[in-house]
Amino acid sequence: MLNSLISRRRLIATGSLASVGVALSRFAFGQTAQTGAKPTLSVVPAYLGVSPQTLPPLPYAENALEPTISARTVGIHYGKHHRAYFDNLHKLLAGTPLEQASLEQIIVQSHDQPTLADVFNNAAQAWNHNFYWNSLSPAVTAPSAKLQAAIERKFGSIEALSKALVATSASQFGSGWGWLVVDRGELAVVKTGNAETPFTADLAPLLTVDVWEHAYYLDYQNRRPDYLVATVSRHLNWAFASANFERV
Quick one: 29 or 60, whose CB is closer to Fe ion? 60
**Among the residue ranges 151-159, 168-176, 184-192, 215-223, the one whose residues contact Fe ion (CB under 5 A):** 215-223
Q: How many CA atoms lie within 13 A of 12 on its CB side?
A: 3
Residues that bind Fe ion (rule: CB under 5 A) add up to a total of: 3
Is 247:47 a contact under the CB 8 Å cutoff? yes
- 134: nearest Cα among 247, 244, 237: 237
The answer to whether 212 contacts Fe ion (rule: CB under 5 A) is yes
Q: Residues 126 to 185: which contact Fe ion by CB under 5 A?
A: none
Q: Count how many residues are written for the chain.
A: 248
Q: Pick the binder of Fe ion from 210, 230, 232, 244 (CB under 5 A).
A: 210
Q: Which residues of 39-74 are buried (b: 16+ CB within 10 A; e: fewer)?
A: beeebbbeebebebeebbebeeebebbeebbbeebb
Nearer to Fe ion, 210 or 219 (CB): 210
- Between 62 and 210, name the residue whose CB sits nearer to Fe ion: 210
Task: Compute how many other C-beta atoms are within 10 angstroms of the C-beta atom of residue 186.
Answer: 10
Q: How far is the CB of 154 from Fe ion (least distance, A)?
A: 27
Closer CB to Fe ion, residue 136 or residue 215? 215
Beta carbon nearer to Fe ion, 121 or 242:
121
| Window 59-88: residues binding Fe ion (CB under 5 A) | none
Q: Which long-range contacts (CB under 8 A, 24 or more apart) does 75-82 make?
A: 76/214, 76/218, 77/129, 77/210, 77/214, 77/215, 78/129, 78/133, 81/129, 81/212, 81/214, 82/55, 82/125, 82/126, 82/129, 82/133
Lay out the site mask for Fe ion across 93-132 (x = CB under 5 A, - = otherwise): ----------------------------------------
Which stretch in 53-61, 90-98, 203-211, 228-236 sits in contact with Fe ion by CB under 5 A? 203-211
> Can you tell me the distance from the alpha carbon of 214 to that of 232, in angstroms, rounded to the nearest whole number?
17
Least distance from Fe ion to the Cβ atom of residue 231, Å? 13
CB of 72 to Fe ion, least distance (A): 14
Q: Minimum CB separation from Fe ion for residue 131, in Å? A: 11
Query: Based on CB atoms, which residue is closest to Fe ion, 79 or 156?
Result: 79
Closest to Fe ion by CB, 143 or 178: 178
Q: Which stretch binds Fe ion (CB under 5 A): 17-25, 43-51, 184-192, 207-215?
A: 207-215
Task: List residues near Fe ion by CB under 5 A.
Answer: 210, 212, 215
